[in-house]
Amino acid sequence: MSILINENTRILVQGITGNEGTRATKFMLAYGSKVVAGVTPGKGGQNVESVPVYNSIKESLAKHPEINCSVILVPPKFAKAAMIEAIENRIKLINVITEFIPIHDVAECIAKAKQNNCIIVGPTSVGIISPGKCKIGMIGGDTNKAYMPGNIGIISKSGGMSSETAYIFKLAGIGQSTVVSIGGDVINGFSFKDALALFEKDPKTHAVVIFGEIGGTYEEEAAEFIKQAGFTKPCAAFISGKFAEALPNVTLGHAGAIIEGGKGTRESKVKALKDAGVMIAEVHHELVELVKKALKI
């Protein structure tokens, strides 16, 4: 099995006629993902990589009622409208690749999504992959180099490190059930905690790996979830940003990677996760040995 996406995922691309939308569509189709429609207002009737384009989600659903996932690659100023359109049309999984969306727009859309039982992964996500089944978004580049089917779940704030983390496991002959890039913004629609809850229920996921970084409290929330909800599977984590604590109040890389008032430090995250029983890698490649030891492989 897997979480969020599988061989039954049917994908709509919002912003399909833009450069990024077209490129993502090409990558997804090449992997075998089922991209069935695209939406760009005013561009209905066109085709992108043989995928039909519609003016609205409502139009696309009339022709393709099987759509259950949207990938959003529109300019930041149009992202709020795109998310709301997807939510109002009851698209259950919404993967937002777009960066630089105003934080108030993101917060409003996440709240609306929760009210309508929709999941927003992102913004600033690079996508999700369940190897051998489905890939959405821009994740992975040459996916066959980094990913292989298996039983390790990976959750990462960093898009690039989603692939790098999968790759070090593949080199060790260990595949992945699902790899989720949750995005590195201050506010995300889908957190480490949310992913852990789904991985806990997935019988094919035997262990979970977290790639975290300084800033925010998502790692601390994950630690609390593990303790309170009784997460039963081995979990290993690497928290990047050792040097950054010497530079307080400086944003590093991602919008969410900022330490304020003593919160969001690597030290606080590592302590919380250790207290919850999570195995901590001091260097990235140690994740593999920690997981192998926990699973006795």
Where does residue 197 rank: exposed (0-12), middle (13-18), buried (19+ CB within 10 A)?
middle
1-125 and 140-297 in the same fold:
yes
pLDDT(254) > 60: no
Instruction: Give the chain's count of helices (H) and strands (E).
Output: 10, 14
SS (H, E, C) 161-184: HHHHHHHHHHHCCCCEEEEEECCC
What is the reported pLDDT for 162?
97
Residue 20 tokens, joined: 């990024």
pLDDT(288) > 90: yes
Which amino acid is present at 72? I
Dihedrals phi, psi of 142, to nearest 5 degrees: -80, 90
**CATH 3.40.50.720 given to domain 1-125:** yes
* Lowest mean pLDDT, pick from 35-49, 62-76, 248-262: 248-262
Local structure of 150: helix, strand or coil:
strand
Active-site positions? 254
Architecture label for domain 140-297: 3-Layer(aba) Sandwich (3.40)
Interatomic CA distance for residues 210 and 121, integer angstroms: 16
**Comparing 264 with 297, which gets the higher pLDDT?**
297
Q: Where are the alpha helices (DSSP H) in 57-208?
A: 57-63, 76-88, 103-115, 143-146, 159-171, 192-201
Residue 25 tokens, joined: 């569509």
Average pLDDT, the chain: 94
What is the reported pLDDT for 40?
99
Confidence of residue 222 (pLDDT cuts 50, 70, 90): very high
Which amino acid is present at 279? M
Residues 37-66: what's their mean pLDDT?
A: 99
Residues 215-232: what's their mean pLDDT?
A: 94
Contact call for residues 181 and 130 (beta carbons, < 8 A): no
pLDDT tens per residue across span 193-214? 999 999 999 999 999 999 999 8
What is the reported pLDDT for 7?
98
Find, among 65, 133, 134, the residue nearest to 95 by Cα: 134
Confidence of residue 36 (pLDDT cuts 50, 70, 90): very high
What is the reported pLDDT for 112?
99
pLDDT tens per residue across span 109-164? 999 999 999 999 999 999 999 999 999 999 987 888 999 999 999 999 999 999 99
The pTM score is 0.94
Local structure of 265: helix, strand or coil:
coil
Confidence of residue 263 (pLDDT cuts 50, 70, 90): low
pLDDT(103) > 70: yes
Contact call for residues 166 and 155 (beta carbons, < 8 A): no
What is the reported pLDDT for 56?
99
The domain spans of the chain are 1-125, 140-297
